Amino acid sequence: MTSKLFSPLDIRSKHFRNRVWVSPMCQYSADDGVVSDWHRVHLGAFATGGVGMIMVEATGVMPNGRISIGCSGIWSDKHAEAFRPAIEFAHSQGTLIGIQLAHAGRKGSTMKPWDDHELASIAEGGWINFAPSPVAYKDFPIPHAMTVDEIQSAEQAFVDAAVRSERVGFDLIEIHAAHGYLFHQFLSPLSVQRSLKELLSSCESQQQTGWKVHGILMMPSNFAKYSKKLVLI
């Protein structure tokens, strides 16, 4: 009997040759968010193994959306184009490849895991973290509480990143809304101390904020219309 694990799968317009998918793994090896030969070898090795799909690591849609100073980014065309060699190689092996779009919120601006201290200073390439409320994670600095305009800017950054991802050849997109990062932070009373009414108070409607509200969860409202790719949330 043939295992379903090795059988093909069709989701919308995408055909996966099997159901063995490689999960996203942070490499902490990007230069100011730009991926390098390290990433091409890392991702390409999985493609040669015949997996159905590879998911690229959590990739910051804004410079201050990365987890660490070594994490990948896609906030410019230069950053997007750096992924192209890995994408083209994966396709040459019959493997689909996706990207996980992310914003770390209050949990960003860290050093690489093997460094001798956790938090990156501005001089070390770090930044001021943004979050729903000025509530720190662990012993991290108190983050800047996002204004409505900054929330809109963050949403647009996800939209722009989706457009770049599609343009450069990614087959699918995943919005990272877990692990206590920005989207997740809007869900938890531990990290958000503002009401949706307050966040939307300066706008005439939810639609104008660019955010779609399902209960407490905020996701980009117009993401789908900008991206023709398979979107996993």
pLDDT at 208: 41
- At 14-28, the pLDDT tens digits run 999 999 999 999 999
pLDDT of residue 90: 98
Both tokens of residue 144?
Answer: 């800047």
Report the mean per-residue pLDDT for the chain. 86
Q: What is the pLDDT confidence band of residue 29, given thresholds at 50, 70 and 90?
A: very high
Instruction: Please report whether residue 9 resides in a domain.
Output: no
Q: For the chain, what is the radius of gyration of the CA atoms?
A: 18
Averaged over 39-46, what is the pLDDT?
97
CATH of the domain at 75: 3.20.20.70
Is the residue at 83 inside a domain?
Answer: yes
CB atoms under 10 Å from CB of 78, counted, come to 12
CA distances from residue 94 to 15, 52, 54, 185 in whole angstroms, order as listed:
10, 8, 11, 37
pLDDT at 224: 53
| Inside any domain, residue 6 | no
Within a domain: 122: yes
Q: Minimal CA–CA distance to 102: which of 189, 174, 31, 191?
A: 174
pLDDT at 94 over 90: yes
Beta strands 9-11 and 14-16, pairing class? antiparallel
* Cα–Cα distance, 47 to 52 (Å, whole number): 8
- Percentage of the chain surpassing pLDDT 90? 66
pTM for the complete prediction? 0.87
Contact 144, 130 (CB under 8 A): yes
Q: What is the pLDDT of residue 121?
A: 97
In a domain, 1, yes or no: no
Q: How sure is the predictor about 214, in pLDDT bands with cuts at 50, 70 and 90?
A: very low
pLDDT at position 209 is 36
When pLDDT is averaged across residues 67-80 and rounded to a whole number, the result is 98
pLDDT in tens, 150-166: 988 888 898 889 889 99
Structure-token pair, residue 168: 């450069």
Q: Which domain holds residue 139?
A: 15-232
pLDDT at 186: 81
As a whole number of angstroms, the distance between CA 219 and CA 211 comes to 6
pLDDT for 212 beyond 80: no
Total of domains in the chain: 1
**For residue 166, is it within any domain?**
yes
Q: What average pLDDT score do residues 187-205 get?
A: 67
In a domain, 8, yes or no: no
86 or 213, higher pLDDT: 86
Domain membership of residue 199 (yes or no) is yes
